[in-house]
Amino acid sequence: MTRFALTVVRHGETRFNKEKIIQGQVDEPLSETGFKQAAAAGVFLNNVKFTHVFSSDLMRTKQTVHGILEKSKVCKDLTVKYDSRLRERKYGVAEGRALSELRAMAKAAGEECPMFTPPGGETLDQVKMRGKDFFDILCQLILQEAGQNEQFSQGAPSNCLETSLAEIFPLGKTCGSESNSDSSTPGLAASVLVVSHGAYMKSLFNYFLTDLKCSLPSTLNKSEFMSVSPNTGISLFIVNFEKGREVKPTIQCVCMYLQDHLNGGTETR
């Protein structure tokens, strides 16, 4: 079995977010609040040992991932791989316009958001395929690296990856976590950080739930799982690959849209 952790963070607040303007792929920077949120997320994650970092190539995600890594005590100098497949959904003519205008456009077309696709925008299926493509390539990368490094199977460096996550995430509450205490269960082969966007993340998580049958913690229902992440909301998944070719991974959701770094609370979803 090969296991890896996937931590997904939404970018910090922008002026468009605050004013409820459709952002899409408009390259809007973080607001002052957004920079503070990114720094707070960085402090929260500062002891987590990430092995790979990916980010959308838009400015707000670049600034967010920089704010997170700047606070890291263990992977400050890790190279970020910017990937256009992690970009927000493209909203075409609706970009830069108020959310209320998008809803009016959808109503005029006899449809509802988010199913409605504005002229020049991406369909939900197109966004889903971008997410699936990124995730498939990521899995191939981790499996290839794990195969090249026998040390992973012995748990030497991987135990510290899991330990660093367990300090702040409820790993013990993960569905099927009983097996995690089994000595036959290997440590994590990698710990991946991804910084992306609200609608994109919702689409990716829908793929996890619908296509890959992602298991949810008992404290989380499907409607909460399919809501849109708040700015710098943090979600954690454990991805498992059994031995064998062309087998879909199993995914366990540890927590969704964690906001402890913003409100100082301990409640997780």
- The phi and psi torsions of 8 (rounded to 5 degrees) equal -115, 125
Annotated binding site: 10-17, 60, 88-91
- Domains of the chain plus CATH, in order, are 2-90+123-263 (3.40.50.1240)
Q: Which of 32, 66, 70, 88 is catalytic?
A: 88
Residue entry with tokens 């497949």: 85
Q: Which pTM was predicted? A: 0.91
Confirm whether 11 is a catalytic residue. yes
Percent of the chain with pLDDT over 70: 88
The 10s digit of each residue's pLDDT in 149-159 is 755 445 445 57
pLDDT tens for each residue of 21-34: 999 999 999 999 99
Q: Where are the alpha helices (DSSP H) in the chain?
A: 15-18, 32-44, 59-70, 99-108, 124-148, 150-153, 158-166, 198-210, 222-225, 260-263
Residue 178 has pLDDT above 50, yes or no: no
Q: How far apart are CA 58 and CA 214, in angstroms?
A: 28
Annotated binding site for substrate: 10-17, 60, 88-91
The 3-state DSSP class for residue 64 equals helix
Instruction: Give the torsion sign (CA, 78, 79, 85, 90).
Output: positive
Tokens representing 236? 């954690």
Q: Residues 206-249: pLDDT tens digits?
A: 999 999 999 999 989 888 888 999 999 999 999 999 875 567 89
Q: List, in order, residues 6 or more apart from 7 with CB less than 8 Å away.
A: 45, 48, 50, 165, 191, 192, 193, 194, 234, 235, 236, 237
- Please state the rounded mean pLDDT for residues 166-170: 94
Res. 179: pLDDT tops 80: no
Q: Are 8 and 237 in contact (CB under 8 A)?
A: yes
Which sign, positive or negative, has the C-alpha torsion 201, 86, 240, 80? negative
Closest C-alpha to 164, from 64, 75, 36:
75
Question: Which of 11, 52, 197, 261 is an active site residue?
Answer: 11
CA dist 235 and 233 (Å) reads: 7
Can you give the pLDDT at residue 269? 40
